[in-house]
Structure 1
Amino acid sequence: MCGIVAVLCEEGTLAVPYLYEGLLALQHRGQDAAGIVTEDRGRLALRKDNGMVRDVFGSSEHVAKLTGSVGIGHVRYPTAGSSCSAEAQPFYVNSPFGIVLAHNGNLVNCTELKAEMVSEWRHLNTGSDSEVLLNIFAAAVRDSVSLRSSSPKVAGALPGCNDADVLEAVRNVMRRCIGGYAVVTLIVGWGLVAFRDPHGIRPLVYGRRKNESGAVEYMAASESGALSSLGFALIGDVPPGHALIMTRKAEPQLHDCIPAGKVKPIMAPCVFEYVYFARPDSVLDGVSVYRARLRMGAKLANRILATWKDHDIDVVIPVPDTSRTAALECAGVLGIKYREGFLKNRYIGRTFIMPQQGLRKKSVRQKLSPIASEFLGRNVLLVDDSIVRGTTCGEIVLMAREAGAKRVYIASAAPPVRYPNVYGIDMPTKEELVAHQASVDGLEGLERVVATIVGADRVVYQNLHDLEQAIQEEAKEAGVQFSSLESSCFNGSYVTESAVSVDYLATLARTRSIDRGGDANETHLLDQLEIPLKVQRVS
């Protein structure tokens, strides 16, 4: 999972402050690396590196070089390739025109696409599927422009890029690339295009604002929370299979890019966005993340009441931060006190998205400190958004006991995570998942085994139907209807089923286990484009 942002400001206005602040607002989506590219009258400036946004852009000199009123940015959480700084995004290719691209998601047919790239005499410098996507897009733009340049109408003139070329390139990407992806792309001298996979697995929104001079500026990002934090009013989501063109020539325009004659794929947003990844103040595909999580909490409480009528819970405590909303509603429905029991160190990253198991385990105690008075002598229900590997959960149970809890129960607002996620979330091997390790028939049997593994007195999981209903009900309230939801990590049903074979899953698990947290398996040094601090301006 990553975060992407694109900004088109009034000419003469620097885009980098908005890109920087936008990435800060999306920092929760990726803490491994960050990058920004801006364009200033045909010149690109790039700054990217490993680290948090404030670290990568901590020098005023770095930010000062990022001139221009248009640009894109990225925060990285590695799921493909490695954690090498060379694989930080955005990526750049010089032909045609100069194109930079930032991508959130994962291509499930990347191996086949890489082989096609080799046959097309294209060189790949990294192990990232984002570079594959960039090369496919760039080649399609070049082919479209070349086709026009051979027409008698242009009479030997050197053609530039136009909207038709870009849309044809997006269609080409959607014909060839299978998986979940949200993309922002800058083409030098032309503008920005943002597009989303045909199933809408990964989120992408856009908005507008008037600056102090009254000029209208536009922004696209992974979440609406990034827009609102910068004063951009949400216009809406980029629909699945659509491209959003943002240039200075016209108002932003949405275009359906599903190849002609192809059956329109079902819309299937990722459930985990609502469970864990997205900010609670975000609205994704018309659905309030906050209100969806309230519904998750209520349904979780109802399951506790249905399956554990004689419970002895004294207090409900959330595992900060994502589970707070669900825990609050769960406590309300149960009629039990809600208390904050953990103090969170906000300078420690999200443990779920850390690249190594050792780092995740070590950081739990660095990130959370128990408030002993809320645990001492009590039977505590800890509400978490999900239980994935069980690493964090086991450490938190132990911390609660050390703080004096009499009994420690765990409730998960999400169902058991049993299967790998292949669309951009780092759940690559079944063997890493505690619910797979404890695989037994029946949800209640699984809960007993997982409780033993993590050291809890009891574990309660949300069931999948209730989770999906929580999101669907909120969608209905907002006047939105989903064809489906991408819930493969819970049920093993992949929306791009034809491309997700047993061999693919085995290869993915093997590759990511090697890559995760290690040095680059494929690397390059062409990762910094610098321009002078002061650009000579032509009057």
Structure 2
Amino acid sequence: MWRGFIDDKPREECGVFGIYAPGQDVAQLTYYGLYALQHRGQESAGIAVSDGAEIQLHKNMGLVAEVFNETNLGLLKGNLAIGHVRYSTTGASSLANAQPMVSRSSHGSFCLAHNGNLTNVAELRQTLGRSGAIFRSTSDSELILNFITCFRQNSLPETIKQCMGYLKGAYSLVVMTKNQLIGVRDPRGIRPLCLGKLGKGYVLASESCALDAIGARLVRDIKPGEIVVIDESGLKSVQVPPARHRSLCIFEYIYLARQDSIIDGETVNMVRQAFGRQLARECRVDADMVIPVPDSGRVAALGYSETAGLPFKEGLTKNRYVGRTFIQPVQNLRELGVRLKFNPIKDIFKGQRVVMVDDSIVRGTTCRQIVKMLREAGAREVHFMVASPPVLYPCYYGIDTASPGQLLAARCSQEEIQKYLGVDSLYYLSLRGLLAAFKAPAQEFCTACFDGQYPIAVSAFTALDNQQGPDVCIMPEFGII
């Protein structure tokens, strides 16, 4: 499916949520939590609940409000639950790949929800295939589930700890047994996961905005390489040796996370404002107004406006009802898809010099159509300010920019992009300026999409999309050589 005309943005794979709260309606609370995380995935949604005796699961394709209703939520009774919203980056968009996923074995049932991508999928599939594992989906989340199931020897948390030595890539997990909630973050901490408190219970979520949605208090972020185990005895933390430093995906702050979230101690809203302020210091032009590309460019545009001393105006109206289910038009009608989503407020543009601010350019198709609409509305000049550096390299850790051919800046020079977009000038925030917006040091972030410096090695098998892995995978801890 061609997605560019509707949303020319990178897409996150999913959002995860977990809650241990005996005596509360955990299914309903998980529903609210997933609603708050809907921006992280719009293809499928699911909730699994345990009452201490059995695990019940409901999942389907669609948005959270489409998948769940009072009837099916009312059937999910228990003391703990996990939930998931998905956008496919690894594996097709199908019900088989929807999460949570459940494992039922002689060691006991458990279910899992995953955010991120593994980079050694081919090797792990080959190992599991020799062990007799059967795959019902094409997602690496099921691979993690089967890996844990096949090599479960001791307690589930101990098995997860052992398995983490062989899982390469990005993963934040929420795992649920009949009486335990477990949260896991990979040793690099590429994908976010936070811990909250709700009364005497605990909550795990991809972003703190999901905690706010149910009235929970943010306690802290799960540390890279940390496993937290929550049950009737309270919370216990098990630490796997983390990497030398964290490598949090910087695109969480640029675009992926909600602006009201706090991730690893940094408020997304404040960071995005700082991007805009720094952009104004680096790239200033003579203009009459600053407008954002809604909604993701709004906070950076405010920062730019304040520092540049230019009026901030809402120049584009966004249609909130054009989204995932919009009918895909044929080639000659794709421009109308953009016009249905965005429309300029014509009376403010006539004869004006406009600075348009957005968070990023990935494919450039939507931006080009917006610029054309501003010209038609009477804008005399359009200067495009991008509150991040050029996206030059693909992501293999859970964002759907896995093909360099999709990336406009990887194919074209800045002058060529300026001409393609039809703008009078084009400026990007520098990588140094981007990193200056954070309290944490630069080495704490994954910036591979800008500089090609991947914190976890990406095998040729991952880069070439599911080619066969090596014949031998040595895992002496599990008796497989």
**How big is each residue's C-alpha offset from its partner over 1:336-376, in whole Å with a ceiling of 9 and x where there is no partner?**
1110111122233389xx99998997653332222112222
**Correspondence for 1:389 among 345, 349, 363:** 363
**Aligned counterparts of 1:238 and 1:357: Cα–Cα separation in 2:** 45
Structure 1 position 86 matched with structure 2 position 96: yes
Q: 1:459 to 1:483 in 2, by over 3 A?
A: closer
What residue is the counterpart of 1:450 in the other structure? 417
Identical counterparts, % of pairs: 39
**How big is each residue's C-alpha offset from its partner over 1:238-263, in whole Å with a ceiling of 9 and x where there is no partner?**
0000011111122x2222023xxxx7
Instruction: State the shift of 1:507 in Å.
Output: 2.6
Structure 1 position 268 matched with structure 2 position 278: no
Structure 1 position 67 matched with structure 2 position 67: no
What residue is the counterpart of 1:194 in the other structure? 183
Q: 1:362 to 1:506 in 2, by over 3 A?
A: farther
Q: Which amino acid in 2 is paired with 1:504?
A: T
**Aligned counterparts of 2:143 and 2:167: Cα–Cα separation in 1:** 9
The aligned runs of 1:476-495 (5 Å cut-off) are 483-495=443-455
Instruction: State the shift of 1:396 in Å.
Output: 1.4
**How big is each residue's C-alpha offset from its partner over 1:396-431, in whole Å with a ceiling of 9 and x where there is no partner?**
112222222122221110100011000000001111
**Aligned counterparts of 2:150 and 2:102: Cα–Cα separation in 1:** 13
**Aligned counterparts of 1:255 and 1:490: Cα–Cα separation in 2:** 34
Q: 1:244 to 1:342 in 2, by over 3 A?
A: same
**Correspondence for 1:256 among 239, 251, 275:** 239
**Aligned counterparts of 2:328 and 2:53: Cα–Cα separation in 1:** 37
Structure 1 position 237 matched with structure 2 position 221: yes
Instruction: State the shift of 1:457 in Å.
Output: 2.0
User: Equivalent residue of 1:167, what SS?
Assistant: helix
Q: 1:322 to 1:54 in 2, by over 3 A?
A: same
**Aligned counterparts of 1:183 and 1:91: Cα–Cα separation in 2:** 12
Q: 1:247 to 1:482 in 2, by over 3 A?
A: farther
Q: Contact between 1:32 and 1:50, CA under 8 Å: does it hold in 2?
A: yes
**Aligned counterparts of 1:461 and 1:398: Cα–Cα separation in 2:** 20
Structure 1 position 467 matched with structure 2 position 467: no
Q: 1:241 to 1:350 in 2, by over 3 A?
A: farther
CA RMSD after TM alignment: 2.3
Structure 1 position 295 matched with structure 2 position 293: no
Instruction: State the shift of 1:136 in Å.
Output: 1.4
**Aligned counterparts of 1:366 and 1:94: Cα–Cα separation in 2:** 46
What residue is the counterpart of 2:196 in the other structure? 207
The aligned runs of 1:366-405 (5 Å cut-off) are 366-405=340-379
**How big is each residue's C-alpha offset from its partner over 1:264-307, in whole Å with a ceiling of 9 and x where there is no partner?**
442111100000011111111111111111110111001113xx
Instruction: State the shift of 1:60 in Å.
Output: 2.2
What residue is the counterpart of 1:179 in the other structure? 169
Instruction: State the shift of 1:492 in Å.
Output: 0.9
Q: Which amino acid in 1 is paired with 2:454?
A: Y
The aligned runs of 1:132-143 (5 Å cut-off) are 132-140=143-151, 142-143=152-153
**Aligned counterparts of 1:6 and 1:356: Cα–Cα separation in 2:** 38
**Aligned counterparts of 1:205 and 1:370: Cα–Cα separation in 2:** 38
User: Equivalent residue of 1:176, what SS?
Assistant: coil
Q: Contact between 1:26 and 1:75, CA under 8 Å: does it hold in 2?
A: yes
Q: Contact between 1:200 and 1:267, CA under 8 Å: does it hold in 2?
A: yes
What residue is the counterpart of 1:441 in the other structure? none
What residue is the counterpart of 2:21 in the other structure? 9
Q: Contact between 1:170 and 1:257, CA under 8 Å: does it hold in 2?
A: no
Structure 1 position 113 matched with structure 2 position 108: no
**Aligned counterparts of 1:196 and 1:364: Cα–Cα separation in 2:** 37
**Aligned counterparts of 1:9 and 1:458: Cα–Cα separation in 2:** 54
**Aligned counterparts of 1:172 and 1:134: Cα–Cα separation in 2:** 14
**Aligned counterparts of 2:140 and 2:329: Cα–Cα separation in 1:** 21
The aligned runs of 1:358-369 (5 Å cut-off) are 363-369=337-343
**Correspondence for 1:341 among 315, 318, 327:** 315
Question: Which ranges in structure 2 are unaligned for 5 or more consecutive residues?
Answer: 1-11, 469-481
Q: Contact between 1:32 and 1:75, CA under 8 Å: does it hold in 2?
A: yes
More helix by share: 1
Q: Contact between 1:3 and 1:30, CA under 8 Å: does it hold in 2?
A: yes
Displaced runs of 4 or more, over 6 A: 354-362
Q: Which amino acid in 1 is paired with 2:465?
A: T
Q: Contact between 2:20 and 2:203, CA under 8 Å: does it hold in 1?
A: yes
Structure 1 position 283 matched with structure 2 position 262: yes
User: Equivalent residue of 2:419, what SS?
Assistant: helix
**How big is each residue's C-alpha offset from its partner over 1:476-513, in whole Å with a ceiling of 9 and x where there is no partner?**
xxxxx56421011111110002xx145532336x99xx
Q: 1:324 to 1:64 in 2, by over 3 A?
A: same
TM-score between both structures, scaled by the size of structure 2: 0.90
Q: Contact between 2:124 and 2:143, CA under 8 Å: does it hold in 1?
A: yes
